[in-house]
A and B are shown apart, each in its own frame.
Chain A
Amino acid sequence: MGKDQRNTNAVSSMIAVNFSEMKISSNPVETLVAFSIGSGIGMTIHDPVGGVGGVLNFILPDSTKANGSNPAKTPYMFADTGITAFLKALFEQGAKAENLKVVIAGAAHVLDQTGVFNIGQKNLEALKTCLDGYDIKIHHEASGGTQSRTISLEIGSGASIIKIFGQEEEKV
């Protein structure tokens, strides 16, 4: 969680992507961050050729399964509607499917949370099914376990950074 923190005078600026949100940028000084991801998934996609990238922070696998919510209003809450809209927005900004570098972090679970209640696992399966449909591969995956993660994307370098509290960060 967190607020937008834009500082136009700074050398670099950090922009938070809260859960159920997606943000895209082609500004090389910007870093997009999805903080504290639990069983949801923070997904960074970058096209180094087009110099565009974005972060999607979804929390549920299937827009048809959450009674009472309106996926048309909150497409980025779900893997199915979120990833589709995320890719569409990237393609509109000139990104090409064959260039995309995809990094994902999240899909954690509570201890002993198995079977139907393991939403993290379901999020991961939904994401993979969706990406398979576009024939897009995952470059790096940090998923499962019981720790929350933070993932960020540096638009300039295209690097994704995954952090877990008390551990060294992974830069890919």
Chain B
Amino acid sequence: MTNLNGIVEQINLLEPIPAIASQIMTKSEDPDSSLAEIADLIIKDPALTANLLKICNSAYFGLPRKVESVKGAVAWLGLDQIVELVLTNSVSGKFNKGLEGYGLGEGELWRHAVTSAHVAKSLAHRYGASQNKHLIYTAALLKDIGKLILGRFVAFSFEKINILVHSQGYSFNDAEKNVIGMNHEELGAMVGEKWSFSEKLIYIIRHHHLTDESARQDLETTLIYLADIICMMMGICSGTDGLSYRFYSDVLKRINVSEKDLQAIIAETSENQQKIEHLLKLF
């Protein structure tokens, strides 16, 4: 087993997300906070504002005229979209790199993160969690943050992990835990604690593979799990871990996802992928 302190210390070396991004994250997760409060936060940060306006004025959105203020951007695109862009922009630098151990090339973890965030948002609408759509989007985007640190340890122990997964029926996250002593969900939750994420966001990151039975009762965590499963099934930048995670059909039944629904969501994701490819180029 690897020295866990050595892994945990790596959290300190990970450059934290900007303070403004975590403030916006906290505000956007709170259903009671007003959209105007979030817009105010963005306006107070000139660098963020400049970046946001550049994105809003890109060909992707095809706005009829140039937007020159946050207020204007909100008026054209709606604050929900603006919040999403700010959150996505604030973490893009971290996720855009390649990831050894998980066999992901440059940009692949990022493509997976953004696609699963969009799938999760769509699931939030379908399954009655719209009031928490920002939390769900953010959680899907950040759920694999632990992989950023664990990657090199997975690379080092890859053969052992691979044997457990492919000869002994372990899920990839259970094999990580068994061989390294920690899996990417636990490590991701520790990053979330260090960066003062909300309790709920940390909870979702820690349980996004639903290994803990109690998490299967939680709607938001379930939706992020399901978005992840859908991306795995579609092969959206799956790496060495592939589809080696556990499937819980009772969870799908509990939130009333039929086989037909699952297929419809996959079809919808496929149809939206072109748009997401264009979106990825903005960051």
Q: Which residue of B lies closest to A57 (CB)?
A: B235
Residue of B103, B233, B260, B264 ringed by the most chain A CB atoms within 10 A: B233
Q: List the count of A-B residue pairs having beta carbons below 8 Å apart.
A: 125
How many angstroms between the C-alpha atoms of A19 and B261 in the bound complex? Answer: 19
Is A13 in contact with chain B by the CB < 8 A criterion?
A: no
Query: In whole Å, how far is B78's beta carbon from the nearest beta carbon of chain A?
Result: 23
Contact of B262 among A20, A37, A119, A165 (CB under 8 A): A119
Q: Which residue of B lies closest to A36 (CB)?
A: B235
Contact of B171 among A62, A109, A111 (CB under 8 A): A111
A38 in contact with B239 (CB, 8 Å): no
Is A147 in contact with chain B by the CB < 8 A criterion?
A: yes
Across-interface contacts of B229 in A (CB, < 8 A):
110
How many angstroms between the C-alpha atoms of A20 and B268 in the bound complex? Answer: 11
Is B39 in contact with chain A by the CB < 8 A criterion?
A: no
Per the CB 8 Å criterion, the residue count for chain B at the interface is: 40
How many angstroms between the C-alpha atoms of A160 and B166 in the bound complex? Answer: 24
How many angstroms between the C-alpha atoms of A113 and B165 in the bound complex? Answer: 15
Contact of A117 among B166, B244, B247, B267 (CB under 8 A): B247
Q: Which residue of A lies closest to B253 (CB)?
A: A117
Query: In whole Å, how far is B210's beta carbon from the nearest beta carbon of chain A?
Result: 12
In the complex with contacts A1-B237, A38-B232, A117-B243 CB distance below 8 A: no
B262 in contact with A19 (CB, 8 Å): no
Is A56 in contact with chain B by the CB < 8 A criterion?
A: no
A19 in contact with B260 (CB, 8 Å): no
Query: In whole Å, how far is B21's beta carbon from the nearest beta carbon of chain A?
Result: 27
Residue of A18, A36, A146 ringed by the most chain B CB atoms within 10 A: A146
Mark contacts of B260-274 with chain A using CB atoms, 8 A cut-off: 1 yes-contact digit, 0 otherwise: 111110111011010
Is A39 in contact with chain B by the CB < 8 A criterion?
A: yes
A146 in contact with B243 (CB, 8 Å): yes
Is A115 in contact with chain B by the CB < 8 A criterion?
A: yes
Is A60 in contact with chain B by the CB < 8 A criterion?
A: yes
B235 in contact with A40 (CB, 8 Å): yes
Q: Which residues in window 132-170 of B have CB below 8 A to A?
A: 158, 162, 165-166, 169
Q: Which residue of B lies closest to A69 (CB)?
A: B267
Query: In whole Å, how far is A42's beta carbon from the nearest beta carbon of chain B?
Result: 9
Across-interface contacts of A37 in B (CB, < 8 A):
235
B247 in contact with A113 (CB, 8 Å): yes
Across-interface contacts of B273 in A (CB, < 8 A):
1, 18-20
A117 in contact with B249 (CB, 8 Å): yes
A166 in contact with B158 (CB, 8 Å): yes
Given contacts A37-B235, A40-B233, A77-B270, 10 further A-B contacts (CB under 8 A): A19-B273, A20-B271, A40-B234, A59-B266, A69-B271, A109-B247, A110-B229, A147-B242, A147-B243, A165-B103
Q: Would you list 9 pairs from A and B whose C-beta atoms are within 8 A, ordered by A residue? A: A19-B273, A20-B271, A38-B242, A39-B234, A59-B234, A66-B266, A74-B270, A110-B229, A146-B243
Please give me the 3 A-B residue pairs with the lowest Cβ-Cβ distance, nearest first. A38-B235, A113-B247, A66-B267
